Amino acid sequence: EKIIGIIEKTLAHRQGEDIEGVPMRGSPFLLQDFHKYIVYAIMGFYFKGTSKRVVREALIHIPRKNVKTTFAAALAWALSLYYRKSGSKCYIASAALKQSLESFDFINWNIEFMGEKDSFRIIDNNQEHSIQKDFGSEGSIFIQALAANPDRQDSLNCNLAICDEIHAFKAPKQYNIIKEAMKAYTNKLMIGISTAGDNINSFYYRRLQYADKILDGQIENDDLFVFKAEADKEPDGSIDFTNPKIHEMANPGYGVTIRPKDMLNDSIE
């Protein structure tokens, strides 16, 4: 509830229109039901009698235009504030810096929209993209946008990391170098988000296969939470991409950010 509250009470939409065409810039960033489910699943379970969270890694697989990148930014912001007493340090990483900056710019814009820019130390230039604030006895936060470059990131240290579009990672080391940066923390959290996993030779495809085994009950791993949005296949393995029910199965934002008529027209074409 605290994470959801931080997001919905402090963040606003930077751009876009709702499904009725009403501009959303400046309106509260309200989470959809599947967003809330993900937050509850990650933050809702602790080992009995401890403050140690069960889930320390998450894989979120959803198609494009389902409020993915801004959700990643919202998580980075809210989780950083939640864990500020631990001296929270969060990296937003992607294969390309440009993708990471989508999330960074969303947070940066919101800080300015709140009228709080002067109370944060924000660096946004060709060398660094970071947001920092010291809360004194209440802790501190540090959020930085990065391109996943294992050859230059051996000295990373963080308790939170969000890797966006990880299907674009060329090698496992791009993911693992950031994951290994969390070893000093008990309540670390590594979140990987992606929209695709068709390349059978990719790191992400193998990661997705492992996630499927968890979902199918073949492997037990409570440390990793998996959210995967996809359509059911027919017995012969085929999928009717012109069926609106199939569209809804694969898109948790169907009817909210996904326009059913547009999707149907695209599938027929």
- How many domains, the chain? 1
Domain membership of residue 236 (yes or no) is no
Instruction: Give tens-digit pLDDT for 93-145.
Output: 998 999 999 999 999 999 999 999 999 999 999 999 999 999 999 999 999 99
Helix and strand element counts for the chain (H, E): 8, 8
Residue 264's pLDDT is 65
pTM for the whole thing? 0.89
Q: Six-digit token pair at 165?
A: 């579009």
Q: Is residue 152 part of a domain?
A: yes
| Gap between the Cα atoms of 5 and 30, Å rounded | 10
Q: What is the CATH number of the domain that holds 178?
A: 3.40.50.300
Residue 265 has pLDDT above 70, yes or no: no
Do the domain assignments include residue 255? Answer: no
Residue 228: which H helix or E strand, with range? Answer: strand 224-228
Share of the chain above pLDDT 70, in %: 92
Provide the domain limits for residue 194: 2-229
Position 79 in a domain: yes
* Strand ranges in 99-179 using DSSP code E only, listed in sequence order: 121-124, 129-134, 140-147, 160-164
Angle at 167 between CA 104 and CA 161, to 5 degrees: 40
d(CA 39, CA 55): 11
Tell whether 223 is covered by a domain: yes
Residue 269 lies in a domain: no
In a domain, 268, yes or no: no
Among 216, 222, 187, 191, smallest CA distance to 68 is for: 191
Residue 242 pLDDT greater than 80, yes or no: no
What is the edge-to-edge ordering of all strands in the sheet holding 129-134?
A: 121-124, 129-134, 140-147, 88-94, 160-164, 189-194, 57-61, 224-228
- Positions of E strands within 43-105: 57-61, 88-94
What pLDDT, on a 0 to 100 scale, did the predictor assign at position 56?
Answer: 97
Instruction: Note whether residue 117 is domain-resident.
Output: yes
